[in-house]
Chains A and B, each alone.
Chain A
């Protein structure tokens, strides 16, 4: 049977509306908390220093990234209890629609809130700095200008790739998802590190070891390979999360 795309789109919009209305408090509170924390942080930073370099932006970005990732861990929060699982699984929509609705809110929506929170935090920093420190030279308020434009897509992709592990963790472990995903990532990293080390040690001693000449790779190649790898990580993790939702049962 040919899928009815209009019906699917309509169903998706209905489900998105249902999700936003039913989780309005959680979503609004999360967004307000994020912006509020950044405003306070910016205000305190401006009160304590007139420093306006990239270090500020890196610090802000790191805090926001952690908050965004923690938010993604709540993507399937309503499925912690059996009642919520029943409600989610019995909603008359496709698995793709159910996944995409949450993806739109917790990946795209939270990304927009993060950008807003960043700007609010930076604005508060500049304002409080003028109020309390009276700087003689104008402070920088150009977080997204050309000087850092080159790094933003890569930083964004790294953020999405890391976040995608937490999206997967959210459906694998709806309870204590954030902590369990961190532990899982730490275990994965440790195992990978140990295996790589052992592999290199064995290769050095074996006859199969071949001395590969140093590759002369240009910056663009590394950049786009890195971007592609991050995109692949995102696609795999989101795909696995979709599959887990599809195979999920009430117990």
Chain B
């Protein structure tokens, strides 16, 4: 569905490119988590995929279309929820009326359901909502557009605790085999249970990890322990009150565990060699 080949992009020729020699593929039917430290180019990558930036070189192919050309067919089929966005000061019904017609697969029923999940109704005025409420409305609309590709940058920032739960519920509800959702976030605990795939990048676009959650579950074991012996033998131990969150190599005698994305992120940052040796698809660029 989405293929990126040898992508390069920089904001200034004087400075090092934010993204360099970046290859990536996103398959339909996946919720993909895009993780990386500040300045690693996550938002930039989303903008490039949305056609909002012009690559210095390389190819982005989405269903045979080049995003930067911003063809109507492309814009009909891709929706981006940026970290910060603006909504006009109009009633939600007016907003839906003038915007929904651009998206051929928009579903009013889906929108109503998502608004209900987020605890909102259609008779609100966008100018009178808090930032968190606006985000809920905008994400409800984005999901209801049923575009094949949905890009979300820090979608849970500014959401209250019930809102984060509702977000997960709405995203899972809207997933289908034809659709892909890419979520760029630092709030890993908000999304770790809904991801199908995880990609961890570093500044300069080295891909530290690009694997499905099933592969991560099979390759690594995550647990909390206060055993000194286990902590010392772990691939990585992250101090936690009374003990540590540890990662161990996956093996048949250890049952699979839930993936702890925060610990996985630390492992990818501190032990990229270990990650590269476990996950064949992962690659570390020079």
Closest B residue, CB atoms, query A86: B82
Collect the chain A residues with CB atoms within 8 Å of residue B54's CB.
247, 249
Q: Smallest Cβ distance from A8 to chain B, in angstroms?
A: 9
Is B52 in contact with A21, judged by CB distance below 8 angstroms?
no
A21 in contact with B98 (CB, 8 Å): yes
| A52 interfacial by beta-carbon distance below 8 Å | no
A-B contact count (CB 8 A): 68
Is A25 a contact of B101 with CB atoms below 8 Å?
no
Contact flag A18-B98 (CB < 8 Å), given A91-B75, A92-B72, A249-B53 = yes
Chain A residues within 8 Å of chain B by Cβ, number: 28
In the complex, A18→B95 CA distance in Å?
8
CB-based contact A21/B72 at 8 Å: no
B residues 51-77 in Cβ contact with A at 8 Å: 51-54, 70, 72, 75-76
Specify the chain B residue showing the minimal Cβ separation from A94.
B72
**A22 vs B102: C-alpha distance in the bound complex, in angstroms?**
15
B104's nearest neighbour on chain A, judged by CB, is A92
Determine if B80 is an interface residue (Cβ-Cβ < 8 Å).
yes
* B interface residues, how many (CB within 8 angstroms): 29
The reply to whether B72 and A14 contact each other, CB–CB distance below 8 Å, is no
Q: Are A87 and B75 in contact (CB under 8 A)?
A: no
CA distance A24 to B72 in the complex (A): 25
Which residue, A11, A82, A84, A92, has most C-beta atoms of chain B within 10 A? A92
CA separation between A225 and B51, bound complex, in Å? 43
Query: Which residues on the A side are within 8 Å of B257 (C-beta)?
Result: none
Partner among B53, B75, B88, B95 whose Cβ is within 8 Å of the Cβ of A90: B75
A17 in contact with B98 (CB, 8 Å): yes
Q: Is B11 interfacial (CB 8 A cutoff)?
A: yes
Residue in B78, B86, B89, B102 whose beta carbon sits within 8 Å of that of A93 in the complex: B102
Query: Residue A216 at the B interface, CB < 8 A?
Result: no
Query: A70: CB under 8 A from chain B?
Result: no
Contact A14 B90 (CB under 8 A): no
Q: Does B103 contact A (CB under 8 A)?
A: yes
In contact, A251 and B11 (Cβ under 8 angstroms): yes
Choose one: B72, B80, B99; the contact of A86 (CB below 8 Å).
B80
Residue of B nearest to A22 (CB): B88
Q: Which residues of B contact A18 (CB under 8 A)?
A: 98-99, 102
Name the CB-closest residue of A to B98. Answer: A18
A19 CB → nearest B CB, Å:
9
Contact of A91 among B51, B53, B102 (CB under 8 A): B102
B94 within 8 A of A: yes
User: CA of A25 to CA of B70 in the docked complex: distance in angstroms?
Assistant: 29
Cβ of B50 within 8 Å of any chain A Cβ, yes or no, is yes
Docked CA distance A224–B170 (Å): 63
B94: chain A residues within 8 A (beta carbon): 21
Complex contacts, A251 vs chain B, CB 8 Å: 11, 47, 53
Task: Evaluate contact between A83 and B90: CB separation under 8 angstroms.
Answer: no
Q: Is the CB of B85 within 8 A of A83?
A: yes
The 5 A-B pairs at the shortest CB distance, nearest first, are namely A92-B75, A22-B88, A250-B52, A83-B86, A18-B98
Q: Taking beta carbons and an 8 Å cutoff, which residues of A are in contact with B?
A: 11, 14, 17-18, 21-25, 78, 81-87, 89-95, 247, 249-251
Residues of B within 8 A of A (CB): 11, 47, 50-54, 70, 72, 75-76, 78-80, 82, 84-86, 88-90, 94-95, 97-99, 101-103
A sample of 9 inter-chain contacts (CB < 8 A) reads A11-B102, A21-B94, A83-B85, A86-B85, A87-B85, A90-B78, A93-B72, A249-B54, A250-B47
Given A18-B102, A249-B52, 4 other A-B residues pairs in contact with their CB atoms under 8 A: A22-B90, A84-B86, A92-B75, A93-B102
